Homo-oligomer: A and B are copies of this chain.
Amino acid sequence: MISRISHVVLAAALAFGASACGQSDGQSSPSQSFVEAPAQTGFDKTLSEAKARLDAQMALPFNVPVPKDAGGGYTHETHKNNAKLIYDAGQLYALTGQEKYAQYAIDLMVAYADVYPGWGFHPEQKEQSPGRMFWQNLNESWWLVHVSQGYGAIKSVASDAQREKIETDLLRNISEFLSDGSPETFNKIHNHGTWATAAVGLTGYAIGDQDYVDQALLGLDKSGNYGFLKQLDRLFSPDGYYNEGPYYQRYALMPFVVFASAVEQNNPERKIFEYRDGILEKAIDTTIQQSYGGLFFPINDALKDKGIATTELLYGVSIAYDLSGDPGLLSIAQEQGKYVLTPESRKVAEDIARGKAKPYDFKTMRLGDGASGGEGALDILRASADPKASVVVMKNTSQGLGHGHFDKLGYIFYDNGTEIIQDYGAARFLNIEAKYGGHYLPENNSFAKQTIAHNALVVDETSHFKGNTKTGNNFHPTAGVFADEADLQISSAQIDTAYEGVNLIRMMAIIHDDALPKPIVIDLMRADASGVRQYDLPVYFSGQLIETNFKLAADPVSRKPLGYENGYQHLWDVARAKPVEGLSQVTWLNDRRFYTVSSAVPNNSEIIFVEVGANDPNFNLRRQQAFILRAAQDGGVSYASVIEPHGEYNPTVEFTLNSHSQVKSLEAFNDGQQDYVRVELKSGQIIGLATSQNMDAQKTHTINVDGQSVTWTGPYTLFHSDAHKTGKK
């Protein structure tokens, strides 16, 4: 059997300079394959940089230290670097045909083969799933994923003795440690298991051992109850959503797409990319869809500066383009601006240089969560396909396991290319030793995961599921209405398990109406409950506070934390206010645009302005700010808000336009299962949004709105203003 990678070697060595050998180019016309490759592409730059880097490295002696340090330490980083060198050397040989690269990879692998069999468990071994070269075998899998591909690429150059040595003492030795030697990881339906099966499976193809491949695909016992295919069944929802969220999705994606590529090359009869209705392409696409301004939605434990330019997505996007030929992926690759040493990546670079890129089709979409897609959903509402248009991300998913946050029905609002109402993400400085060794900080649990750290409703100053992940994992919201129309993007969900005796219901919609210069968002957050309880709804606004429609009372010379636990201890209580006649309006400036959140709140409400940073003696938290709508009420609560981007602040040309909100009044009416939100603009125009928890499209609803009866059919109806010309009403 010819491994996929050897195949690439041959093809690339013979056809270097011509178009890449991707198997699917169905969408381009036949003549296009004869178009000459452009003179200099981004890929060429990547290639010459890789050559320079490897040439410099090849002048130095090998460095294969005895395992000693934990993650981030010297031996850890050295072994990681060696794997990259072997991988790059293999790819460079494949791409250039220069044997010196193959020889370097062979010699470095032989050096490892000399010592690896003698290594027992790592001295800093983690309790679960320890490694030998690294402290955890996840890193060992990562290492083998790279080295096995490097080996496949240079195998034909190695002598029989070298092959024997490398395969026996290194590749098989590690593979067996990762498979039979670590069944608890290998058979786990979890991304650590995917790394392990991909590593062993890629090794199987590289050394020509079908047994490895079968174990990788079907589990140690080849029953199909475990292994790569089962992981494909279970780790993604049918819509391609990964349970832990996009930050971990992009990490999990890497072994999936790399191993699947090898399966496609070597066992095309498996049609792996058609498996489960093309789940892998969907997963790559949803990873991109879950981004704004190049950065992933930072839900759950996520570093906020992580985005589509990560190495994992360089592989993902180029492989997806190879499969689909979708020119929208080229604009994503342009934004990535970087390439990897694969034929697919070269093809991407060449097609960009040929001017084939089209805008990527960012869509309003519901991504069902859970293996069957029925465990809540991540709902993405986009005002348009413009990458800078308003976006609402509703976190109506399930808990997301250990990295999940307690933010049921929370949301993020983006506009103008950036995060406007934000999520904190994770409290972590990855790999920065001075910050708790680069691990998740204690404040990740004490603040970032807590409900009050999110744009989500907190009842009685406690977090959802009392902050217990295990409890959280047992429940999920029920997704409600979802629609994407020309004048309306709408989503809702509810959950009655986050708090005992409380049903949380949230509806959010982007509204387009000719009375509005820009689309607005309507947010209706309701809690149905009995007894007096306190309801806190934070809005983590990003920017400079400009005005409020109420008088702020700040203690200018002293600050105290807002509370004692559940994240409240990390918030400074900065200022308080009473809203005027049940209407709260807060306007801030972000970059050059104004934003106002107008909220209809109970008359006894309080608005509390807070800043993150109390109980933070080590300066671990970022200084973000929020205002919190607070009401203590008997019988539940309703907060109806309009999020309104408006105006322009232009300090360059010195003008300011429309710095004030256009919202004059806002009222929410509720009648059991039915809601009606009425927005009155200063122009006198009125917009209404009627919704029902009843999903029956035929059912007619009537609600009393200020003495007038409003009737509609189906789960939602937008009542346009008189100024609207193109609406359906």
**Using a CB–CB distance below 8 Å, which chain A residues touch chain B?**
72, 77, 303, 305-307, 309-311, 429-435, 438, 544-547, 552-554, 556-561, 569, 572, 575, 587, 589, 609, 611, 613-619, 622-623, 625, 649, 651-656, 659-660
Contact in complex: B560, A560 (CB < 8 Å): no
Residue of B nearest to A594 (CB): B432
Which one of B72, B438, B544, B622 contacts A619 once the chains associate, using CB atoms below 8 Å?
B544
B residues in contact with A561, CB < 8 Å? 556-557
The CA of A618 and the CA of B556, in the complex, are separated in Å by 10
Contact in complex: B432, A615 (CB < 8 Å): no
Contact in complex: A556, B435 (CB < 8 Å): no
The CA of A307 and the CA of B654, in the complex, are separated in Å by 12
Which one of B307, B434, B545, B622 contacts A652 once the chains associate, using CB atoms below 8 Å?
B307
Given A310-B653, A430-B651, A560-B557, A546 and B435 contact (CB-CB distance below 8 Å): yes
Contact in complex: B311, A575 (CB < 8 Å): no
The CA of A433 and the CA of B660, in the complex, are separated in Å by 9
Contact in complex: A434, B310 (CB < 8 Å): no
Query: 24 interchain pairs (CB within 8 A)?
Result: A72-B656, A77-B655, A303-B651, A309-B652, A310-B653, A430-B651, A431-B649, A431-B655, A431-B656, A432-B546, A432-B649, A432-B656, A432-B659, A433-B656, A435-B546, A545-B619, A552-B619, A553-B617, A556-B561, A557-B560, A557-B561, A559-B559, A575-B617, A611-B623
Chain A contact residues, majority secondary structure: loop
B residues in contact with A572, CB < 8 Å? 559
Of listed A434, A558, A561, A613, residue having the most chain B CB within 10 A: A434
Contact in complex: A434, B587 (CB < 8 Å): yes
CB distance from A440 to the nearest CB of B (A): 14
Contact in complex: B556, A617 (CB < 8 Å): yes
B residues in contact with A554, CB < 8 Å? 616-617
Given A554-B617, A617-B554, A652 and B306 contact (CB-CB distance below 8 Å): yes
B residues in contact with A546, CB < 8 Å? 429, 432, 434-435
The CA of A727 and the CA of B622, in the complex, are separated in Å by 42
Which one of B303, B553, B617 contacts A552 once the chains associate, using CB atoms below 8 Å?
B617
Contact in complex: B617, A430 (CB < 8 Å): no
Contact in complex: B430, A656 (CB < 8 Å): yes
B residues in contact with A556, CB < 8 Å? 561, 614-617
Which one of B547, B611, B613, B622 contacts A434 once the chains associate, using CB atoms below 8 Å?
B547
Residue of B nearest to A544 (CB): B622
B residues in contact with A303, CB < 8 Å? 651
B residues in contact with A557, CB < 8 Å? 560-561, 569, 614-615
Which one of B306, B430, B589, B622 contacts A429 once the chains associate, using CB atoms below 8 Å?
B589
Across chains A and B, which 7 residue pairs bring their CB atoms closest together, nearest first? A434-B547, A431-B656, A545-B619, A559-B559, A556-B615, A554-B617, A305-B651
Contact in complex: B544, A434 (CB < 8 Å): no
CB distance from A51 to the nearest CB of B (A): 19
Residue of B nearest to A431 (CB): B656
The CA of A625 and the CA of B623, in the complex, are separated in Å by 10
Residue of B nearest to A625 (CB): B623
Residue of B nearest to A587 (CB): B434
CB distance from A441 to the nearest CB of B (A): 12
B residues in contact with A649, CB < 8 Å? 429, 431-432
B residues in contact with A72, CB < 8 Å? 656
Residue of B nearest to A72 (CB): B656
Contacts A429-B544, A433-B656 aside, 4 further interface pairs with beta carbons under 8 A come to A431-B649, A432-B649, A559-B572, A623-B623
B residues in contact with A306, CB < 8 Å? 651-652
Which one of B432, B558, B616 contacts A560 once the chains associate, using CB atoms below 8 Å?
B558
B residues in contact with A309, CB < 8 Å? 652
CB distance from A333 to the nearest CB of B (A): 15
